[in-house]
Structure 1
Amino acid sequence: MITLNDVKEAKKNLENVANNTPITKAPILSETFRSEIYLKKDNLQLTGSFKLRGAFNRIAKLSVEKKEKGVVAASAGNHAQGLAFAAKYFDIEATIFMPEATPLTKVSGVKSYGANVVLVGENFDEAKEAAYKFAEENDCEFIHPFADDDVIAGQGTIALEILEEIKDLKQIIVPIGGGGLISGIAIAAKSINPDIKIIGVVASGAAAMKESYRSQMPIDSSSVRTIADGIAVRDVTPKLLDIIIDYVDDIVEVSDNEIANAILFLLEKHKLVVEGAGAVATAAIMHEKVEIEDSKVCAIVSGGNIDVTMLAQIIEKGLVKSNRKMNLIIKLIDKPGSLTRLTEIFKECSANIVQIDYDRDSIKLEFGEAQITIALETKGEEHQKLIREKLKQNGYRFKQI
């Protein structure tokens, strides 16, 4: 059984290696929900994620003989980077198995620390099976990303840092994938203050731990699909479920749209680059999945290794959703001056054109027609309403997309 002393020992192992990451108040969330809401920013940790803590603690406790044989792991990205960093620190060989769809930024991060990377499988669990086989065939130590006592103890050091800085804390809200992070935090926090509430958050597309928690027995998902790839875990580990049942007060879930909203919110309002898994605790607060009014709460921002392509998509959709970007398909008469007259309307409305496509060849068009697909920068719902009214007044047929 993992104890508070194990977590304190892990903290000593991490001294002069892992950052004691910042904890700052979230003013907009605090005002909105009439509470003191803090963010624990482990996206600013070395390697961009909390995973360094557990991986480093695990390798630090290996015998000299096992270190010489090297280590192997399976990971969707963050555990891989933490383990690769630790392996480089101790000058041992590391081989990491990652799902084929792992974002390039995470694969590149692992390779930058000198680890060997093998891309295999559609998800973490398939990569894990390949890693198990490799470890057995090569007689090297498999370092599990969450179902390992030393890894769990390392993740629990986050709770020590939070409780040292925030007095009278009522709740800690924690992302859940496999359950190692919340297990470590819950054990440490509840050992210090049994009254503190620990709330877990899963992605709707990877909700096996929530379903298992409700049923009090392991229930694996048939598949996982979520933008929060760091917590896209299909199977539930019975040992971790037992810890979570004993120490965690509730588990809630958030959708991919809610996660995307939180990523954009943290980027715009807090200047934080956060991956999907790192944003779920904030998403749970924003979308009122947890009761926090008149409370003192800390949300774990667990990682920041988001793929740039995914971030671009989230920003783009967020701009459209918040009425700061407007996409239109407009029919024109295909003759000189038609496009000029259309753009004059946008000029009158002070709408900036950021992209335009002119199509006169589609078989869906009548002869003499052209179709314009245009993207505009806009200033909110009223501004978009004005643009639509102007287009109607001038006889344009259009569709907003």
Structure 2
Amino acid sequence: MYIPTYQDMLDAHERIKPYIRRTPVRTSDYLNELTGAELFFKCENFQEPGAFKVRGASNAVFGLDDAQAARGVATHSSGNHASCLSYAAMKRGIPCNVVMPRTAPQAKKDTVRRYGGQITECEPSTSSREETFARVQAESGGDFVHPYNDPRVIAGQGTCSREFMEQTDGLDMVVAPIGGGGMISGTCLTLATLAPETQVIAAEPEQADDAYRSFKAGHIIADDAPKTIADGLLVPLKDLTWHFVSNHVSEIYTASEQEIIDAMKLIWKHLRIVMEPSSAVPMATVLKNPDAFKGKRVGLIITGGNVDLDRLPWTHGA
């Protein structure tokens, strides 16, 4: 297992600069007063495909040699990695095959197709996803770019925290959502070298809390088919992301479905930006655990904004 390094992150940042945006950091006086903390929101929902995953996907796609690239890329994803890999592949002019759960939001399927990705649907479970993908990859021969358990992807995601630290003059802690752990791993990778005094905190839905339980148990615990409104956080940790979580994450907090919805509404209202439920989990955990964050400079990564506007959680329920 190759563990990506800080130099890999720096190399990734140079490689992907033409294809990503240096996303803005937003603040809110109201949210600062509400929490008693100084909050900084890194708006990865402003990336062209609408999510941070364009960083890791672009690093993988543009790191391929020409012979590999000619065969294209393939992955399985509930949405954002699929759309971001399709986007990067479109930019390089190569094919992209994606396995997605049939229950993935229509908005995310539409985005994948807009960028030229070919979708094969599977049942909404890890086992079905992996079985379907094995068949699709065997047929296509594309390079497998795992949504998170891939050193190229983690190095790419780490570029977000490099920008974040430059834009904020330092933070006491950075909070990011955790599903499979790609963003958290990239955050750990960067901050362990760039700002070792900055704590990395992971935020997870109560109804998909396998990372929290893994963290407490000291080994990976994987759920096959959890159900939560935070559809981007349904996947389990793997060996590479577990390495970063177990060695560098300070704490994992969880939030209920209603707490996630309430935090999502709060950010929509006071930052005036579109974000998806997965991106609201960090804010939900800050609101739920005020003593842990009070008086601190806290960075929250808004990981994505690909939400179905016809099915908002507060109009259709969780």
* Partner amino acid, structure 2, of 1:7: M
* Pairing of 1:225-374 with structure 2 (within 5 A): 225-233=227-235, 235-288=236-289, 291-311=292-312, 313-315=313-315
CA contact (8 A) 2:263 2:281 kept: yes
Quote how far apart the aligned CAs of 1:282 are.
1.2
CA contact (8 A) 1:177 1:232 kept: yes
Question: What CA distance in whole angstroms lies between the structure 2 residues aligned with 1:172 and 1:309?
Answer: 32
CA contact (8 A) 1:211 1:219 kept: yes
Question: What CA distance in whole angstroms lies between the structure 1 residues aligned with 2:310 and 2:289?
Answer: 28
* Partner amino acid, structure 1, of 2:281: V
What secondary structure, in the 3-state scheme, does the structure 2 residue paired with 1:47 have? coil
CA contact (8 A) 1:40 1:162 kept: yes
Name the % identity: 29
Quote how far apart the aligned CAs of 1:315 are.
4.6
Summarize the Cα distance change of 1:12–1:213 in structure 2 as closer, same or farther, 3 Å threshold.
same
Aligned pair partner of 2:61 in 59, 74, 85: 59
Deviates more, 1:136-145 or 1:220-229: 136-145
What is aligned with 1:178?
180
Question: What CA distance in whole angstroms lies between the structure 1 residues aligned with 2:291 and 2:120?
Answer: 39
Question: What CA distance in whole angstroms lies between the structure 1 residues aligned with 2:98 and 2:291?
Answer: 36
What is aligned with 1:18?
20
Question: What CA distance in whole angstroms lies between the structure 1 residues aligned with 2:30 and 2:164?
Answer: 20
Quote how far apart the aligned CAs of 1:286 are.
2.0
CA contact (8 A) 2:122 2:129 kept: yes
CA contact (8 A) 1:267 1:274 kept: yes
Summarize the Cα distance change of 1:125–1:229 in structure 2 as closer, same or farther, 3 Å threshold.
farther
Q: Which has the higher helix share?
A: 2
What is aligned with 2:200?
198
Q: Which has the higher contact order (CA 8 A, sep 6+)?
A: 2
* Pairing of 1:86-235 with structure 2 (within 5 A): 86-123=88-125, 125-233=127-235, 235=236
Quote how far apart the aligned CAs of 1:266 are.
1.3
Question: What CA distance in whole angstroms lies between the structure 2 residues aligned with 1:280 and 1:196?
Answer: 20
Q: Flag structure 1 segments of 5+ consecutive residues without an equivalent.
A: 319-401
Quote how far apart the aligned CAs of 1:259 are.
0.8
Summarize the Cα distance change of 1:148–1:100 in structure 2 as closer, same or farther, 3 Å threshold.
same
CA contact (8 A) 2:205 2:228 kept: yes
What is aligned with 2:48?
46
Quote how far apart the aligned CAs of 1:99 are.
0.2
Question: What CA distance in whole angstroms lies between the structure 2 residues aligned with 1:33 and 1:244?
Answer: 26
CA contact (8 A) 1:59 1:86 kept: yes
Question: What CA distance in whole angstroms lies between the structure 2 residues aligned with 1:124 and 1:20?
Answer: 33
Quote how far apart the aligned CAs of 1:16 are.
2.2
Residues 19-53 of structure 1: CA deviation (Å, up to 9, x unaligned): 11110112222112322111111111110100111
CA contact (8 A) 1:252 1:290 kept: no
Q: Over alpha carbons, which structure has the higher Rg?
A: 1
* Partner amino acid, structure 2, of 1:56: S
CA contact (8 A) 2:76 2:98 kept: yes
CA contact (8 A) 2:127 2:224 kept: no
What secondary structure, in the 3-state scheme, does the structure 1 residue paired with 2:203 have? strand
Runs of 4+ with >3 A deviation? 315-318
CA contact (8 A) 1:75 1:128 kept: no
**TM (normalized to structure 2)?**
0.95
CA contact (8 A) 1:18 1:52 kept: yes
Quote how far apart the aligned CAs of 1:79 are.
0.2
* Partner amino acid, structure 1, of 2:218: Q
Quote how far apart the aligned CAs of 1:129 are.
2.8
* Pairing of 1:374-385 with structure 2 (within 5 A): none
Question: What CA distance in whole angstroms lies between the structure 2 residues aligned with 1:269 and 1:123?
Answer: 35
**TM (normalized to structure 1)?**
0.76
CA contact (8 A) 1:263 1:273 kept: no
* Partner amino acid, structure 1, of 2:228: T
* Partner amino acid, structure 2, of 1:170: D
Question: What CA distance in whole angstroms lies between the structure 2 residues aligned with 1:317 and 1:88?
Answer: 35
Quote how far apart the aligned CAs of 1:123 are.
3.5
Residues 129-166 of structure 1: CA deviation (Å, up to 9, x unaligned): 31123213432211100000000000001110011111
Quote how far apart the aligned CAs of 1:95 are.
0.8
* Partner amino acid, structure 2, of 1:309: D
What secondary structure, in the 3-state scheme, does the structure 1 residue paired with 2:279 have? helix
